[in-house]
Amino acid sequence: GAVVSQHPSRVICKSGTSVKIECRSLDFQATTMFWYRQFPKQSLMLMATSNEGSKATYEQGVEKDKFLINHASLTLSTLTVTSAHPEDSSFYICSARQGGSAGELFFGEGSRLTVL
Amino acid sequence: GIQVEQSPPDLILQEGANSTLRCNFSDSVNNLQWFHQNPWGQLINLFYIPSGTKQNGRLSATTVATERYSLLYISSSQTTDSGVYFCAVGVTGFQKLVFGTGTRLLVSP
């Protein structure tokens, strides 16, 4: 299967700082990537759809000024959590689709963010 | 939006037992995937199965899109099968995947 890599896997930061998470498709090009968030013992919730060369599409209730998404190339999307607070602590997972609009999605390893 | 419900929510098995996990969805889909989330959070792709039946070793899956459900079969379960199983569906006309509620499986020796 295709490989999606995410970095960092764990990050601890102080309240008020910003954190950037990178998501790369290693062996295929992805015009669209997706960012999910998962709280303990819950399912994955889609935060936003990242579109190469254009603005991201955010799900209802997700603050676009808090979670900045940039998709500058066909293999890299970044999520920046700005002015992080303890309630932003969560597991963030990115994914990329291989193939057409209904193609298979592959996921990165996830990034566990802890805000002190 | 589409609703995706999985059952059972929790399942405890003895090693060697078989099990069936179910995924019901409320709208037409053009994509359905099954994942296993390991204890470290990594999502492992099990099946890409918008329709029909597939098998991979001890695992197999069937999707009946017209009746809006999919089943994941695990045979001769092993302790390494423990974890959370998610189905996720893609609604026709949209690119995103919507995740189900998950089934937490524990296989004891």
Please indicate if any CB of chain B lies within 8 Å of the CB of A49. Answer: yes
CB atoms within 10 A of CB B63: 25
The tens digit of pLDDT for each residue in B71-90 reads 999 999 999 999 999 999 99
Mean pLDDT along residues B18-37: 96
A102 to chain B, minimum CA–CA distance in Å? 6
pLDDT at A72 over 80: yes
Closest CA to A88 of A110, A63, A70: A63
Nearest to B101 among A38, A43, A101 (CB): A43
User: What is the SS3 assignment for chain B?
Assistant: CCCEEEECCEEEEECCCCEEEEEEECCCEEEEEEEEECCCCCEEEEEECCCEEEEECCEEEEEEHHHCEEEEEECCCCHHHCEEEEEEEEECCCCCEEECCCEEEEEEC
Residue A90 CA to residue A92 CA, distance in Å, equals 6
Q: Write down the mean pLDDT value for chain B.
A: 95
Chain A, 85 to 114: residues with Cβ < 8 Å from chain B are: 91, 93, 95, 97, 101-107, 109-110, 112
Dihedral (CA of A60, B46, A40, A69) sign = negative
B28-47 confidence digits (pLDDT tens):
998 999 999 998 899 999 99
